[in-house]
């Protein structure tokens, strides 16, 4: 199989979300009809400001919502063509879809290596295969190999992010839901992490759905992007097209546009009402 | 002056004056310390993996011991009753997970704590219905535990060590060693520790809560059985046995709720210190019976200076 071949239209996307609505605590409506797809082997970015619903979208997919008393009340989510809303996170990881949570969430008192090994919890293919993957993770993140015996809680933010991604890799995922990998990291480290994401995508064939506030970096590495605003997708397109889009430039990339000073002037996005389609 | 003398000098003079008796006291302390440590370990494991303070640990000790003795009374041979009791403890762990923990997942800690009180009450009633409420005798000999005692004459004195206690100590050490090995080297143990660190992250990497809970509650059940056998063989099997679980509370305060090492060291320390205090300070000065409160006072003093307990996991904070 060649990676270079352009993705045919008929190929089933690895993930497709159709018009989901998410409600927390039975009253707080957070996602108001979000639809998006991630193609096989794609890197798709989910962009938006604080509170737009990026994390909620990812958690709706990985089914970690339940732990926060949220629920998908409408729409459906397909992973490789199968509905997954009723699956436990554990079953989902087994099927190859794993989330790397915002803020790393390493196991602070476990060593870096133990952290990585917890990622293999769902695997049944034997110690030597797991060992092999551990070596692979160390190849991608040489720094983790150096720090393998340190308690994860005492490692740097960048190392923790690497640990979190490495830990997810240990589950042999087909798809990683990556939430704010750039959070709190120096620009150079952000670049390093995204480079690794790209390598994993190209060499291991892992698909990514990236939730990011750092629109600039995310759109350079992603192939496709969706922009989320107050629980709705307001704009989507090829990453390079989004980068050129005047509104995106102005509101997310901070490159000054002429004449428009208020969100009122871009209301026309909302009229597209993709969520009714 | 006399008073100071009786606190600061006389006890030590007594200790060194009769080293054989001191050794006897230390040994007795060690044996109860080992038991405290075991019970505390049951608490720590459950707390670490589910943030539940398991009020039912004490009644599990009684329930396990009752099941063992009850099965034997019904004519099951001891060698078969033991694995059968283990099976019952496994079933208990599974039912608790299914009926109590799973429906209450993500509820505030206090609700789960209340639920364990519910489990306690249920087990008291259930145990009485099945096995009756009267005291029973632990089937010590039938289990092959020696009941004689060894006598030594160190320093020209006299020291008597019950073989039963030696078995208890050796058994407990083996159990703890196996547990530590399990926690540190096995995949399941790693997952238990991970769950203790970050619940959400554990979920996100696919660690299955229900599996872990069953495992952890089963281990607590095994520990309860071991404690029940040892304590039951000294004091008989009755519902009053439940109170020894409360002896684990000061151990937990001293050792920290999350620390396996703390439970072990705390248990041993309290067992030995309370015996020493009782014999050398309590009886001569306070008229005895200090063992009931000494541990709590000690724990209180420790808490004043170290709120997380002596061995509580250091809260890792990075800025």
- pLDDT, tens only, B216-272: 999 999 999 998 998 888 878 888 878 777 888 888 888 878 888 888 998 999 999
Q: Are B205 and A69 an interchain contact pair (Cβ–Cβ within 8 Å)?
A: no
Domain count, chain B: 1
**Residue B222 confidence (pLDDT):** 94
Q: What pLDDT does B182 receive?
A: 93
Query: Which of B181, B207, B211, B179 is CA-nearest to residue B194?
Result: B207
Nearest to A105 among B190, B198, B316 (CB): B198
pLDDT bucket at A271, cuts 50 / 70 / 90: very low
Contact A101 B193 (CB under 8 A): no
Q: How far apart are CA A77 and CA A61, in angstroms?
A: 7
B187 touches chain A (CB under 8 A): yes
What is the spatial distance between Cα A27 and Cα A43, in angstroms, rounded to a whole number?
33
Distance from CA of B198 to the nearest CA of A (A): 6
Nearest CB to B200: which of A101, A109, A114?
A101
User: Cα(A195)–Cα(A188) distance, rounded to whole angstroms?
Assistant: 11
**What totals of helices (H) and strands (E) does chain B contain, helices first?**
13, 2
Residues of chain A with Cβ-Cβ distance to B191 below 8 Å are 118, 121
Q: Who wins on pLDDT, B83 or B315?
A: B83
Lowest-confidence pick of A167-176, B111-120, B298-307: B298-307
How far is the CA of B50 from the CAs of A71, A237, B102, B107, in angstroms? 23, 44, 11, 11
Q: Does A100 touch chain B (CB under 8 A)?
A: yes
Query: A249: number of CA atoms within 13 Å, CB side?
Result: 11
Using a CB–CB cutoff of 8 Å, tell me whether B198 touches chain A. yes
- Residue-number span of the structural domain to which B126 is assigned: 2-305
Q: pTM for the complete prediction?
A: 0.83
Closest-CA residue of A relative to B185 is A114
For A103, which DSSP code? Answer: T
What average pLDDT does the segment B13-42 reach?
88
Query: Do B203 and A67 make contact, defined as CB atoms within 8 angstroms?
Result: yes
Q: Is residue B318 part of a domain?
A: no
* Minimum Cα–Cα distance from A90: chain B residue: B206
Tell me, what's the pLDDT at B305?
83
Among A101, A151, A154, the residue with its CB nearest the CB of B201 is: A101
Structure confidence at residue A148 (pLDDT): 92
Does the pLDDT at position B4 exceed 90?
no
For position A8, what pLDDT does the model report?
47
Tell me how far apart the alpha carbons of residues B13 and B22 are, in angstroms, rounded to a whole number.
11
Q: Is A35 on the interface with B (CB under 8 A)?
A: no
pLDDT at A164 over 90: yes
The tokens for B122 are 């249920």
pLDDT at A11: 75
Rounding to the nearest 10 degrees, give the CA dihedral for residues B163, B167, B170, B171. Answer: -170
Does B85 score more than 50 pLDDT? yes
Answer whether A118 sits within 8 Å of B190, measured CB to CB.
Answer: yes
* pLDDT band for position B17 (cuts 50, 70, 90): confident
Domain containing residue B292: CATH number: 1.10.3470
- The residue-averaged pLDDT of A46-75 equals 90
| Interface touch A100/B194, C-beta < 8 Å | no
Q: Can you give the pLDDT at residue B149?
A: 82
Residue B245's pLDDT is what? 77
What is the structure's pLDDT at A244? 86
Which span out of A65-79, A263-277, B134-148 was modeled with the highest average pLDDT? A65-79
In a domain, B316, yes or no: no
ipTM of the complex: 0.83
Cite the residue boundaries of each domain of chain A with CATH code 3.40.50.300.
Answer: 19-96+173-251
Architecture of domain A19-96+173-251: 3-Layer(aba) Sandwich (3.40)
Q: Which strands form A70-79's sheet, in the order they lie side by side?
A: A28-38, A15-24, A70-79, A82-83
A96-149 tens-digit pLDDT: 999 999 988 999 989 999 999 999 999 999 899 999 999 999 999 999 999 999
Percent of chain B with pLDDT over 90: 34
Chain B residues with CB inside 8 Å of A115's CB? 194
Contact in structure between A175 and A37 (CB atoms under 8 Å): no
Give the separation between CA A251 and CA B125, rounded to whole angstroms. 66
């Amino acid at each position: 199989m060649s990676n270079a071949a352009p993705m045919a239209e008929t190929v089933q996307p690895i993930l497709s979300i159709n018009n989901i609505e998410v409600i927390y605590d039975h009253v707080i409506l957070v996602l108001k009809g979000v639809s998006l797809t991630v193609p096989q082997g794609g890197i798709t970015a989910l962009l938006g400001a604080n509170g737009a619903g990026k994390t909620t979208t990812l958690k709706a997919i990985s089914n970690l919502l339940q732990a926060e008393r949220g629920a998908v009340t409408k729409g459906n989510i397909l992973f490789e063509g199968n509905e997954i809303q009723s699956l436990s996170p554990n079953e989902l990881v087994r099927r190859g879809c794993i989330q790397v949570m915002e803020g790393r969430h390493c196991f602070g008192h476990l060593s870096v290596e133990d952290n990585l090994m917890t990622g293999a919890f769902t695997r049944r293919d034997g110690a030597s295969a797991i060992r092999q993957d551990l070596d692979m993770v160390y190849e991608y993140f040489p720094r983790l190999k150096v720090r393998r015996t340190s308690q994860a809680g005492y490692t740097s933010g960048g190392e923790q992010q690497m640990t979190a991604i490495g830990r997810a890799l240990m589950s042999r995922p087909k798809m990683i839901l990556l939430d704010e990998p750039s959070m709190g990291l120096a620009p150079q480290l952000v670049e390093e992490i995204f480079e690794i994401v790209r390598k994993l995508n190209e060499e291991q064939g892992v698909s990514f759905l990236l939730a990011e506030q750092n629109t600039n970096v995310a759109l350079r590495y992603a192939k496709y992007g969706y922009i989320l605003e107050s629980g709705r997708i307001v704009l989507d397109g090829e990453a390079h097209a989004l980068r050129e889009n005047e509104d995106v430039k102005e509101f997310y990339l901070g490159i000054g546009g002429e004449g428009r000073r208020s969100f009122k002037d871009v209301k026309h996005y909302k009229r597209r009402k993709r969520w009714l389609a | 002056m006399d008073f100071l003398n009786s606190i600061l000098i006389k006890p030590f003079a007594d200790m060194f004056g009769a080293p054989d008796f001191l050794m006897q006291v230390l040994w007795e302390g060690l044996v109860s310390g080992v038991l405290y440590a075991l019970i505390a370990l049951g608490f720590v494991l459950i707390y670490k993996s589910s943030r539940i303070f398991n009020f039912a640990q004490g009644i599990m000790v009684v329930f396990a011991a009752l099941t063992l003795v009850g099965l034997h009374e019904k004519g099951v041979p001891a060698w078969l009753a033991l694995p059968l009791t283990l099976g019952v403890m496994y079933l208990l762990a599974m039912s608790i997970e299914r009926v109590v923990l799973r429906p209450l997942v993500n509820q505030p800690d206090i609700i789960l704590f209340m639920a364990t009180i519910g489990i306690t009450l249920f087990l008291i009633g259930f145990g009485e219905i099945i096995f009756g409420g009267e005291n029973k005798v632990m089937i010590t000999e039938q289990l092959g535990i020696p009941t004689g005692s060894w006598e030594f004459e160190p320093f020209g004195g006299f020291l008597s060590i019950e073989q039963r206690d030696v078995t208890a100590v050796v058994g407990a050490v083996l159990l703890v060693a196996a547990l530590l090995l399990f926690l540190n080297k096995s995949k399941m143990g790693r997952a238990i520790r991970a769950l203790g660190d970050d619940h959400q992250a554990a979920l996100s990497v696919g660690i299955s809560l229900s599996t872990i809970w069953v495992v952890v509650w089963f281990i607590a059940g095994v520990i309860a059985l071991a404690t029940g056998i040892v304590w039951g063989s000294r004091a008989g099997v009755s519902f009053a046995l439940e109170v020894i679980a409360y002896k684990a509370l000061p151990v937990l305060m001293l050792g920290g709720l999350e620390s396996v090492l703390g439970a072990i060291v705390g248990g041993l320390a309290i067992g030995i210190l309370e015996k020493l205090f009782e014999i050398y300070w309590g009886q001569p000065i306070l008229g005895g019976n200090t063992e009931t409160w000494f541990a709590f006072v000690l724990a209180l003093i420790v808490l004043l200076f170290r709120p997380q307990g002596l061995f509580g996991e250091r809260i890792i904070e990075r800025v």
